Amino acid sequence: MQDSLNGKTAIVTGSSSGIGMGIAEAYAEAGANVVTNSRSQERAESTAEDIRAAGGTALAVEGDMSDRKDAQALVDAAVDEFGGVDVMVNNAGVSNISPALEMTEEEWREVIDVNLTGVFFGAQAAGQQMVEQDGTGQIINISSIFGSIGVQGRGPYNASKGGVNNLTRALAVELAEHDIQVNALAPGFIRTELDAQTRKSGDDDETLDEDDWPYYGYDDQHIHNRNPMGRFGTLEEMANCALFLAAGDHYMTGEIMHADGGWLAFGWGSKSR
């Protein structure tokens, strides 16, 4: 997919680490002018510097996507620097783990505000700019398989990603008249910093005592048992999916692309230990 985004401008929110960073770097390698983003200017600049060191073009912009003004400022910065916005990847996200009956209002609102409201603000600001540019563009919302299943201890994350899925469909229908395609990428279990926060421990060989239910973490053995491909996904695989969506050479809008190693297709199945 080399040069598939040559000359285009792409914004990737939450691109200081994990999937967002992988997508930003892949877009730059494909020829895009990339706008990186984080709530920390230093972290956003770190990814931008890596892109420039590899020969790409990048601008770092600090901003909290749950703040509408910051979302608009991010799009404005891309327009000021590169003349427009062709691709918007709404990736910024947070998570927490807490039983529903013990969760605080602050824990609930933080996840919903960033993961769902922030996606809307980013899509709205980018969509308005794309329409002003006489239409066309790609909006890609990063969802999760957790938007399609229920997982204990992750109520707001499940709710936010389910909301992202249906928001993606609604935006796709509404923006189609402007030739703006809106799709979502829904990863399964990928090796990232966010994944590390929710694993049982740093010991990949540690397994779960079945008497621990309800249990709010997971280990490598769970992934092997529950995933037909038997492994975590990689950042490179997610970046390849995001490259396909960004290129726009497809008849797709309102779709949720699940990149999960067959997790959802497996239903209630589990391979033996």
CA-closest candidate to residue 221, choices 149, 148, 271, 146: 271
Q: Higher-confidence residue: 2 or 62?
A: 62
Is 157 tagged catalytic?
A: yes
Q: Which of 27, 157, 215, 216 is catalytic?
A: 157
Looking at 3.40.50.920, 3.40.50.720, 3.90.1150.10, 3.40.640.10, the CATH number of the domain 9-191+233-260 comes to: 3.40.50.720
Residue 224 pLDDT > 90: no
124-153: pLDDT as tens digits: 999 999 999 988 999 999 999 999 999 888
* pLDDT for residue 136: 93
Evaluate if pTM is beyond 0.75: yes
Residue 17 DSSP class: S
* pLDDT for residue 42: 98
CB 168 within 8 A of CB 183: yes
167-182: pLDDT as tens digits: 999 999 999 999 999 9
CB 58 within 8 A of CB 23: no
